[in-house]
Amino acid sequence: MAKKLKEYAPTTYQDFAKPAVAKKQHDAIVAVRKKFGKKYPLIIDGKKVMTENTHPSVNPAATSEVLGNFSMATKDHAEAAIQAAAKAFQKWKNVPPAERASYLFKAAEVIRQRRNEINAWMISEVGKNYLEADADTGEAIDFLEFYGREMLRYAGPQPVTQNPGEQNQLVYLPLGVGAVIPPWNFPFAILVGMTSAAIVTGNTVVLKPSSDSPMMGWLFVEILNSLGLPKGVVNFIPGDGGEIGDYIVDHSQIRFISFTGSAGVGKRIYERASRTPDNQLWLKRVVAEMGGKDAIVVDSEANLEDAANGVVAAAFGFQGQKCSACSRAIVDRKVYDQFVQMVKERVENIEVGDPMENKAMGPVASQRAFNTIQKYIEIGKGEGKLVAGGSIVEGASGWYIQPTVIADVKPGATIEQEEIFGPVLAIIKARDFNDALNIANGTKYGLTGAVYSENKEKLERAANEFFVGNLYLNRKCTGALVGVHPFGGFNLSGTDSKAGGRDYLLLFLQAKSIATKVNSAPAAKKVAAKKVAAKKAAKK
């Protein structure tokens, strides 16, 4: 008899304030550092494929350190991966949903056992501190547990209205071969969530990890392979976007593209996926989460201590490199000066340093980000008043930028409109609550937002008028939990896919209605027999 599943609940984070807990994590980092510098293959149809062309995964806190050198796929490798996935799909689509879900549950258990090790690789590869890394790994566990249970729900009887004379049912079928293109900022959680949702629904995958975090993709594929996942179900092909990205998206055998990243790349994928060459039998489905320009509104009736803490945590957690990060604080003029001072004091106390030592704020993840963020800071200095930070950390061995706050920014300014994806906060003065909501809604994005106010009527207005996919009232705008806060945004924040929600798996499924006519002959005989019996009874 199958073991009964416990009710789903989000993973509890480790408490690194406890010295013993922090020491275990530090020891895990020391252990994985001994494995730095190895070469890693592609995985195509279950086979390891080494290539001459490799790409280094670099420690952003010490850029001379290479975690590993990853084989880079060519178009020929991409083609082989797509064909392997297409072949595997013919069997995988018929594997019972419960069996597919079991791979997710088993993977979740392995990740629990290797939690600190996975955290350690993440801390080393993208510069997260201990808690940010642990939350990322915990979210990966949650995606596996939640989506496994969701597949069991979709595999069960679906509620449809029965029509007299028919037996009616609705069943869900997988789509086919999908391209999974995850980001580097939640390098394990989002990659695991996107990949597991695709395969538990019966699809097969060509996985192209971010070039900034290929190790995290390798770890997950390694775990799946250790559990005996059939070859070809997940094919691992790191590669340059310019070399293989368009090729995969354009391919006529790709049925869907699951993407998380910038609006620019997402729009390009959406456009290219809309094409329907003659040898393609379907309209491709695009699942896209494309970032935001998220705001926290601080009302004149807010608890300013809570608001300042929330804004700083949401703006500078993981160096502001979250699509949900607060990059705009919109503050009522009645409390503006006081609030700016409170933020300044908190930001100046942020300790910047090596994530290996669990400093509050580490480096940004890449040279590209390092350069881009500096350009935005210089633009911001001309658009407002520099309150804190504003430069790189001199003498550092990695890509460190000071947490930066620029106040007195006007609505419509560059740093108020464009996604910076770094430790830069713009503070905007609003005339009143109405003005603040208008400013908050005045971008092309609509991902997350928050409002701090003790006025219930204003909170109700925000619930109705603040146009974002994830709204938080009197709390920070980051930290969505799987199953608790289904995640996805409006406008150019993407397709509002609601990852970690009850609708998400539908994006990887297609519904089939089946109506069976009920044979009426036996029923008619029963009716006739009843009539005869009734007549006999009447004669008696």
Which residues carry out catalysis? 289, 323
Give me the residues paired with residue 180 across strands: 207, 258
DSSP H or E segment with residue 363: none
Helices (H), 114-262: 115-126, 130-155, 189-200, 214-226, 246-250
Closest CA to 448 of 433, 469, 475: 469
Closest CA to 204 of 37, 298, 92: 92
d(CA 365, CA 102): 34
Encoding tokens for residue 56?
């280094």
DSSP three-state, residue 487: strand
Instruction: Please provide the size of the chain in residues.
Output: 540
Residue 429 class from Cβ within 10 Å (0-12 exposed, 13-18 middle, 19+ buried)? buried
Encoding tokens for residue 470?
């994830």
Q: What angle do CA 172, 177, 181 make, to 5 degrees?
A: 110
d(CA 299, CA 458): 9
Residue 312 class from Cβ within 10 Å (0-12 exposed, 13-18 middle, 19+ buried)? buried
Closest CA to 128 of 195, 21, 216: 216
d(CA 494, CA 292): 9
Q: Where are the beta strands (DSSP E) in 403-482?
A: 404-407, 424-430, 445-446, 448-452, 470-473
d(CA 103, CA 27): 29
d(CA 80, CA 255): 16
Closest CA to 500 of 39, 83, 142: 142
Give me the residues paired with residue 404 across strands: 424
Q: Enumerate residues 6+ apart whose C-beta is below 8 A from 402.
A: 352, 388, 389, 390, 391, 392, 393, 423
Give the CA-trace dihedral at 228, 229, 234, 237, to 10 degrees.
0
- Which value, in Å, is the radius of gyration of the alpha carbons in the chain? 26
Residue 521 class from Cβ within 10 Å (0-12 exposed, 13-18 middle, 19+ buried)? exposed
Alpha-carbon torsion 269, 274, 275, 281, what sign?
positive
